[in-house]
Amino acid sequence: MTTPQEILKLIQDKNIQMIDLKFIDMPGTWQHLTVHKDQIDESSFSDGVPFDGSSIRGWKAINESDMSMVLDPNTAWIDPFMKEPTLSLICSIKEPRTGEPYNRCPRVIAQKAIDYLVSTGIGDTAFFGPEAEFFIFDDVRFDQNQHSGYYYVDSVEGRWNSGRQEGPNLGYKPRYKEGYFPVAPTDTLQDIRTEMLLVMAECGVPIEKHHHEVATGGQCELGFRFGKLIEAADWLMTYKYVIKNVANKYGRTVTFMPKPVFQDNGSGMHTHQSIWKDGQPLFAGDKYAGLSETALYYIGGILKHASALLALTNPSTNSYKRLVPGYEAPVNLAYSQGNRSASIRIPLSGSNPKAKRLEFRCPDATCNPYLAFAAMLCAGLDGINNKIHPGEPLDKNIYELSPEELAKVPSTPGSLDLALEALEKDHAFLTKSGVFTEDFIETWISYKLDTEVNPLRLRPHPYEFALYYDA
């Protein structure tokens, strides 16, 4: 643990002039405010730094816009993308009038989820390990107006460019669904991924690996070690920040959209999770796949509330272009130790009980990680508290199931509006603990409907012209 005094000494010793204060808005985008070092003292870590919250999505009206950013000293790193030496700190938000944590701040909600876990007596630590995939493109263009709408993405790796005049075209383009993972020269992104990984380490993220992913056109993944719930969410936001800025340095662009390329694999964020107590893992046992009864009940809670969960773990309309059968997509609400089309997989962990965990494969990186992790934990705890058994595992090849067998396996919602409808009907597991408030759930649903679902419904789709123009 780092103290405020140590941060102030670091600022002095390194002659840091600027402090960049980062916080996350409700949908999941990092916002920031940069202040001179003279504006920071010990009270900044308890009372916070004032700012205007009226323009932050989903937050305050202009007549009650004063808010405070409370600096977390454990999140300090020197920002590698700033010209002047700049210390980055992640903040949580509080109400300056009452001194209470702001109940629409995602990082505050994540802390309430941990507090709730401790209050149950079940455990004291929740570990999360997200695996966020992304595409690195060379070019992206898109527009939407009254009389036109289109998108265009391109990559030198795109199989669609195998016949393009490139002066010369060298022909090494990963085939569709075969990007996992040939060596160079087919993989052109080795050096940029290495730089991304090493810069992440400079920013305090415990790095592990990197590799090309399945899709053509520059799909990749970097790996970092699992961490405690808030810590893991902080690291994921740093991950996205570093990847986008390193790519920008190379004249490339990164997207975490789940499905930016048609007819190839989308980008998910498989999320590993486990609960511990007093330094001991609670998910290892003598049940299926070496799981404990506690772990099975946790799985039962995730599966029971999965449709509602997806409104937070897969919160974009594009998320449901990925969650379709046929692309290793985890659309089946079942669990298995080997079936990657099941929404929950039990990774092989050998005889080490500390490595026993489950992997929820539905989420994608358009989510706000603080909200997504908190919601998954609440669902799992509901399963444990109510002894919700997940039923039998799905160990058969899903593509070999008969129609009768397949009909018995529930599936993920087919669209964001269906997931939001499920959340509206099923959110007591989030609110009865006090982790999420009714106000937040109502705000989330209305925000998503008003700014994403309904605007998309109103607009013609380019493919509709191919289908219907000559009708």
- Known catalytic residues are 52, 131, 133, 213, 221, 270, 340, 359, 361
Token pair for 442: 């109502």
Write phi, then psi, for 393 (nearest 5 degrees): -70, 160
3 state SS of 51: strand
**How many CB atoms neighbour CB 116 within 10 A?**
18
Q: Alpha carbon of 113 to those of 72, 288, 379, 437, 466: distances in Å?
A: 18, 28, 11, 12, 48
Rounded CA separation 312/417 (Å): 12
DSSP 295-342: HHHHHHHHHHTHHHHHHHHS-STTHHHHSSTTSS---EEEEESS-TTE
DSSP letters along 261-278, please?
Answer: STTS----EEEEEEEEET
CB 365 within 8 A of CB 241: no
Amino acid at 172: Y
DSSP class of residue 282? S
Secondary structure (3-state) at 88: strand
**CA-wise closest residue to 223 among 92, 130, 85, 120:** 130
Question: What's the rounded Cα separation, in Å, for the pair 270 and 221?
Answer: 11
Q: Are 174 and 162 in contact (CB under 8 A)?
A: no
| Distance spanning both ends of the chain, measured CA to CA | 66
CA distance 276 to 283: 8
- Side-chain-facing half-sphere of 206: CA atoms under 13 Å: 9
- The Cα 363–Cα 330 span in angstroms is 9
- The Cα–Cα gap between 126 and 370 comes to 13
3-state DSSP assignment of residue 27: coil
Q: Give CA torsion, residues 400, 221, 108, 29, to 10 deg.
A: -110
